[in-house]
Amino acid sequence: MDKIITYKPFGNQIILVEWESKIDTSILKEIIRFKNKIEFQKKILYTDLIVGYNSLAIKYKKPFLDFSIELEILKSIEKIEIQTERDTNFIFEIPVCYDVNFGIDLEEISAKSGLSIDKIIKLHSERSYTIFFIGFLPGFLYLGGLSEQLFFDRKANPRIQVEKGSVAIGGQQTGVYPNDSAGGWNVIGKTPINFFDIENVNPCFAKAGDKVKFKPVCIDEFHQLEKEIKANIYQVLKIEADA
C-alpha cells in the first residue's frame, strides 16, 4: 500500500505536510528524509522546517502567490531519489533521580497500576526513547517508546507549576520539563540537566531522530551533578546511534 501524504496551506506562508496519524519511527524517518531533501534541493526559500509526530511544517521566507505551484514543487522534491548527507543521530544519557521527593506522582501511579515503585523505575529507565519532535516549551522533547505498562492518563487538573527538570509521563509518552511551567503530566523523577539554554549556539542539544536513555541516580549524586552543571564542568554523555 502506497503511503499517503497530504499538503495543506495555512495562509500563504506555511504549508503543512502530513503523514498517517500515528507515532511511528518509520514515519519519523520519512519526515526527516523529506526535510533533508528540501534542505538539499534549495528549490524553495524557507525560514523554518518544523518536525512533528506525523508532519512537517514549512514556513516560507516570503508569502507564496500560488499554492498549486508550491504543491507541485514539494511533490517533485518528495518523489526524487537523491543521496542526501545523513544526519548523525546520538543517544543521550540523562541522569534522573526517582526519589519520591522529586517523583511526586510515583506513589499514585504505583497504587493505580499495581506496579511497585522499583518496577516503575526499572520499566522507565531500561528503554531508549526516540525524540519525535520538540515543542510545547523550547527544549521539551516528545519521547516515544514508553512501555505499555506505564501508559498513564494526563491529570484531569494540571498543576499550576511543574519544576524545571521534572521527568514525567503523559498518556503514551514521557518527557522532561525544560523550565518551570504549568503541566498535566505525571511526575516520576527529576534531572539536573539543562535542556534549553538560549546562550548556546544550539539552545537544545538534541534533535528529532536522536534518542534518550534515562540513568537512575541517587539524591546525593543528583545534588553533586547540580554543582558540576552550575560550575559548567559537566557534559551530557552521548554516543553515536546506529543508522
Q: Please indicate, yes or no, whether residues 108 and 202 belong to a single structural domain of this protein.
A: yes
Q: In 3D, which of 57, 29, 61, 34 has the Cα closest to residue 46?
A: 61
- Cβ pair 44, 5 in contact under 8 A: no
Q: Mean pLDDT over residues 153-162, rounded?
A: 92
Does pLDDT of 199 surpass 90?
Answer: no
- Cβ pair 45, 62 in contact under 8 A: yes
CATH number assigned to the domain comprising residue 40: 3.30.1360.40
Choose the final residue of a domain: 20, 55, 79.
Answer: 79
Q: Mean pLDDT over residues 122-148, rounded?
A: 90
Does pLDDT of 1 surpass 50?
Answer: no
Question: What residues make up the domain containing 171?
Answer: 90-240
CATH number assigned to the domain comprising residue 204: 2.40.100.10
Task: Please tell me the distance from the alpha carbon of residue 33 to that of residue 35, in angstroms, as a whole number.
Answer: 5
Q: Please indicate, yes or no, whether residues 22 and 100 belong to a single structural domain of this protein.
A: no
Higher-confidence position of 51 and 219: 219
* DSSP-assigned beta bridge partners for residue 212: 92, 129
Does pLDDT of 84 surpass 80?
Answer: no
Q: How many CA atoms lie within 13 A of 19 on its CB side?
A: 22
Helix, strand, coil % over all residues of the chain, rounded to 5? 25, 30, 45
Query: Does pTM surpass 0.85?
Result: no
Looking at the structure of the chain, the number of domains it has is 2
Position 1 in a domain: no
Q: Please indicate, yes or no, whether residues 186 and 226 belong to a single structural domain of this protein.
A: yes
Choose the final residue of a domain: 59, 79, 99.
Answer: 79
Q: Please indicate, yes or no, whether residues 148 and 31 belong to a single structural domain of this protein.
A: no
Contacts of 201 (CB under 8 A, 6+ apart): none
* DSSP-assigned beta bridge partners for residue 14: 10, 59
Position 170 in a domain: yes
What is residue 2's predicted lDDT score, i.e. its pLDDT? 57
State the DSSP code for 86.
P
What is residue 185's predicted lDDT score, i.e. its pLDDT? 95
Position 236 in a domain: yes
Does pLDDT of 80 surpass 90?
Answer: no
Q: Could you report the per-residue pLDDT of 2-39, keeping only the tens digit for each?
A: 578 999 999 899 999 999 887 888 888 889 889 888 88
- And the C-alpha cell for 78? 518528495
What is residue 23's predicted lDDT score, i.e. its pLDDT? 80
Choose the weakest-confidence range: 41-55, 65-79, 89-103, 149-163: 41-55
Average pLDDT over the chain reads: 89
Task: Please tell me the distance from the alpha carbon of residue 225 to that of residue 220, in angstroms, as a whole number.
Answer: 9
Q: Please indicate, yes or no, whether residues 149 and 200 belong to a single structural domain of this protein.
A: yes
Position 222 in a domain: yes
Q: Please indicate, yes or no, whether residues 166 and 189 belong to a single structural domain of this protein.
A: yes
Q: Please indicate, yes or no, whether residues 128 and 175 belong to a single structural domain of this protein.
A: yes
Q: In 3D, which of 234, 216, 228 has the Cα closest to residue 102?
A: 216
Task: Please tell me the distance from the alpha carbon of residue 53 to that of residue 49, in angstroms, as a whole number.
Answer: 13
Q: Please indicate, yes or no, whether residues 223 and 121 belong to a single structural domain of this protein.
A: yes
Q: Please indicate, yes or no, whether residues 151 and 120 belong to a single structural domain of this protein.
A: yes
pLDDT-based confidence at residue 193 (cuts at 50, 70, 90)? very high
Q: Please indicate, yes or no, whether residues 63 and 103 belong to a single structural domain of this protein.
A: no
Task: Please tell me the distance from the alpha carbon of residue 159 to that of residue 97, in angstroms, as a whole number.
Answer: 21
Choose the final residue of a domain: 24, 48, 79.
Answer: 79
Q: Please indicate, yes or no, whether residues 106 and 182 belong to a single structural domain of this protein.
A: yes
Q: Please indicate, yes or no, whether residues 111 and 227 belong to a single structural domain of this protein.
A: yes
pLDDT-based confidence at residue 44 (cuts at 50, 70, 90)? confident
pLDDT-based confidence at residue 86 (cuts at 50, 70, 90)? low
